[in-house]
């Protein structure tokens, strides 16, 4: 298999694994109609090739809220005063190193960054914002939007529908 090419079996494997990475190799092999050794070899090749970055557990926000409180989810626009690559890189490194930052995106046009920040409560968000935004003299503008309801959250890519549309499955 060439490094950058995926066949229909690879796409089926990736689709199944992104939905449930805890599936056994035997069950996964049955799902995509290959032998278990072939399945194991292909998954290893997909992992070694960087198609699978890591496997994680997605925690239930509803269940955690009973123990930790509901918390605040904030979507934060950040505009920098100076946008040279060294300034963008420096802010990005600072943001991604912060535990409360769940996602960090460089965007264009508009703000320079969009962050998804998770805080316990408003005082915690204030501490986060001081750490991330006010201690850096290069941050020109911050605009935070606080989530009132999460209507959808997924980590999956639409691989099956894409493969079917292109005729590879």
Q: What is the structure's pLDDT at 68?
A: 81
Q: What is the structure's pLDDT at 4?
A: 64
- Three-class secondary structure of residue 92 per DSSP: helix
* Chain position carrying tokens 């890591």: 54
C-alpha torsion 24→30→35→41, nearest 10:
-40
From first to last of the 169 residues of the chain, give the pLDDT tens digit.
Answer: 445 689 999 999 999 999 999 999 999 999 999 999 999 999 999 999 999 999 999 888 878 877 887 789 999 999 999 999 999 999 999 999 999 999 999 999 999 999 999 998 999 999 999 999 987 779 999 999 999 988 888 889 998 765 554 454 4
Q: What is the structure's pLDDT at 1?
A: 43
- Contact yes or no for 8/169 (Cβ under 8 A): yes
Show the 3-state SS of 5-65.
CCCHHHHHHHHHHHHCCCCCHHHHHHHHCCCHHHHHHHHHHHHHCCCCCCCCCCCCHHHHH
Q: What is the structure's pLDDT at 29?
A: 98
pTM over 0.85: no
What is the C-alpha to C-alpha distance for residues 81 and 74, in angstroms, rounded to an integer? 22
- Contact yes or no for 136/94 (Cβ under 8 A): yes
- Three-class secondary structure of residue 137 per DSSP: coil
Q: What is the structure's pLDDT at 164?
A: 53
* Chain position carrying tokens 């799902």: 31
């Amino acid at each position: 298999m060439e490094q950058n090419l995926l066949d229909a079996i690879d796409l089926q494997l990736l689709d199944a694994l992104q939905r449930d990475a805890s599936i056994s190799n035997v069950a996964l092999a049955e799902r995509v109609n290959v032998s278990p050794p072939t399945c194991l070899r292909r998954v290893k090749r997909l992992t070694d090739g960087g198609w699978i970055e890591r496997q994680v557990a997605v925690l239930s926000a509803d269940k955690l809220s009973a123990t930790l409180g509901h918390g605040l989810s904030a979507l934060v626009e950040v505009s920098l005063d100076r946008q040279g690559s060294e300034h963008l890189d420096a802010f990005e490194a600072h943001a991604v190193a912060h535990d409360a930052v769940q996602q960090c995106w460089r965007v264009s046009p508009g703000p320079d960054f969009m962050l998804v920040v998770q805080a316990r409560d408003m005082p915690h968000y204030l501490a986060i914002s001081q750490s991330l935004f006010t201690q850096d003299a290069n941050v020109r503008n911050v605009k935070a939007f606080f989530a009132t309801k999460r209507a959808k959250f997924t980590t999956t890519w639409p691989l099956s529908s894409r493969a079917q549309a292109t005729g590879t499955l």
